[in-house]
């Protein structure tokens, strides 16, 4: 009976199969293509993959899709294979391969960084491993404030997103493990916030054991050397810590939100540590990613 049922489904017109598959998701279409030759023809058709492609894609930078894709499926795969640079050069985008949701990265140049244009506090360094030209490097500040924003119309509707700070820590650094930073993500009237620590504990970089308790130690002067023993909050402190990515950068989840409608308003993202008197150095800001959360 199961074999007979499968055969009956395969006898449906390709156009009807395409309509059904187009109402699923890219991941389901790829699975359907493995069922039978009849399903494969329907699942690979432009009628299906054009439904998975956003109709409001922003203009891309010249040469980002060269050579031009030959089909809607090839275009989707190219856009979901990795970030492509937008025409303004300040943002990149890609599609989530499982859901087709639009994802973005705001470059450091697209962010509001307090004193970011003051060479005494921040410098701009070239990048060779990024779609963007440069990154912001923290030289010395006591007031850390980084903000990004974008309109909800740029995002996919009915999608859960999370925002991530993408960064590195320079060898010469201090003040990034304490005091803790605060992150916030808001859309419309909804906001989520959390405590974060940009520089988590690294066993390979420590010469002593981490203390059992996360003690607050005031620094009377600005240290001019790399602290060998980092203070890390215990798990019960509910502090978000960064993780290392496969591309060599670090990322720190800043918060999540739900994009329900295109008119939800502006999405605002921030990372701050503004209590004053706590000097910081060595943060290299690549940008902020906004991507669909599994």
Of the residues 95, 123, 148, which one is the last residue of a structural domain?
95
Same domain membership, residue 76 and residue 44: yes
Is the model's pTM score more than 0.85?
no
Residue 3's pLDDT is: 46
150 and 174 part of one domain: yes
| Domain finish residue from 63, 95, 127 | 95
- Do 77 and 145 lie in a common domain? no
* Domain match, 164 and 71 both: no
Instruction: Tell whether 35 and 130 lie within a shared domain.
Output: no
pLDDT at 222: 42
Same domain? For 57 and 107 the reply is no
- Looking at the fold, whether 115 and 90 belong to one and the same domain comes out as no
Which pLDDT does position 39 carry in this prediction?
81
Co-location of 24 and 73 in the same domain? yes
**Domain end: 95, 119, 150, which one?**
95
DSSP letter for each residue of the chain: -HHHHHHHHHTS-HHHHHHHHHTS-HHHHHHHTTT-HHHHHHHTSHHHHHHHS-TTPPPBPTTTT-SPPSSHHHHHHHHHHS-EEBTTSSEEEEE-TTT--EEEEEEGGGSEETTTT-TTTEEEEE-SSSSSSEEEEE-SBS-EEEEEEEEGGGSPSSEEEEEEEEEEEEEEEESSSSSPEEEEEEETTEEEEEEE-SS---GGG-SSPPPSS------SS---S--SS-----GGG-EE--EE-TTS-EEEEEEEEEE--TTS-EEEEEEEE-SSS--BEEEEEEEEEEEE--
CATH (domain of 32): 1.20.1280
Per-residue model confidence (pLDDT) at position 204: 39
Residue 250 is predicted with a pLDDT of 97
Give the tokens for residue 209.
Answer: 């054991």
How many domains does the chain fold into? 2
The pLDDT score that the predictor gives to residue 207 is: 35
Report the pLDDT value the prediction gives residue 115, as an integer from 0 to 100: 96
- Residue 206's pLDDT is 36
CA distances from 269 to 92, 165, 193, 201, 256 (A): 17, 10, 10, 25, 10
Per run of 10 residues, the mean pLDDT along the chain (length 294 residues) is 52 78 89 80 89 93 92 95 96 96 98 97 95 96 96 94 97 94 93 91 38 33 45 66 95 95 87 91 98 92
Name which of 121, 108, 164, 109 is nearest 287 in CA terms: 108
Structural domain boundaries, residue 144? 102-292
Residue 134 sits in a domain of what CATH number? 2.60.120.260
**pLDDT value of position 167:** 98
User: What is the predicted pLDDT for the residue at 87?
Assistant: 96
- On whether both 110 and 130 belong to a single domain, the answer is yes
């Amino acid at each position: 009976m199961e074999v007979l049922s499968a055969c009956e489904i395969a006898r449906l017109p390709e156009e009807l199969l395409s309509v059904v598959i187009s109402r699923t998701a890219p991941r389901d279409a790829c699975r359907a293509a493995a069922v039978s030759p009849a399903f494969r023809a329907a699942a690979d058709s432009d009628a299906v993959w054009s439904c998975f492609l956003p109709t409001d894609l922003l203009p891309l930078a010249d040469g980002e899709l060269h050579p031009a894709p030959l089909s809607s499926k090839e275009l989707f795969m190219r856009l979901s294979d990795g970030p492509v640079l937008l025409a303004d050069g300040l943002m990149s985008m890609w599609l989530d391969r499982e859901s087709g949701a639009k994802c973005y990265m705001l470059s450091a140049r697209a962010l509001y960084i307090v004193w970011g244009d003051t060479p005494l506090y921040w410098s701009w360094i070239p990048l060779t491993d990024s779609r963007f030209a440069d990154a912001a490097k923290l030289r010395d500040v006591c007031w850390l404030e980084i903000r990004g924003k974008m309109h909800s119309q740029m995002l996919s509707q009915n999608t859960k997103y999370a925002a991530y700070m993408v960064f590195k820590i320079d060898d010469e650094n201090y003040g990034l493990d304490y005091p803790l930073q605060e992150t916030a993500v808001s859309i419309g009237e909804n906001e989520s916030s959390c405590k974060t620590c940009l520089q988590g504990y690294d066993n390979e970089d420590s010469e002593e054991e981490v203390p059992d308790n996360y003690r607050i130690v005031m620094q009377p002067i600005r240290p001019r050397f790399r602290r060998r023993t980092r203070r890390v909050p215990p798990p019960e402190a509910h502090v978000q810590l960064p993780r290392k990515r496969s591309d060599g950068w670090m990322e720190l989840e800043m918060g999540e939100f739900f994009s329900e409608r295109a008119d939800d308003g502006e999405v605002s993202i921030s990372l701050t540590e503004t209590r004053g008197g706590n000097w910081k150095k060595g943060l290299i800001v690549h940008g902020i990613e906004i991507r669909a959360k599994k």
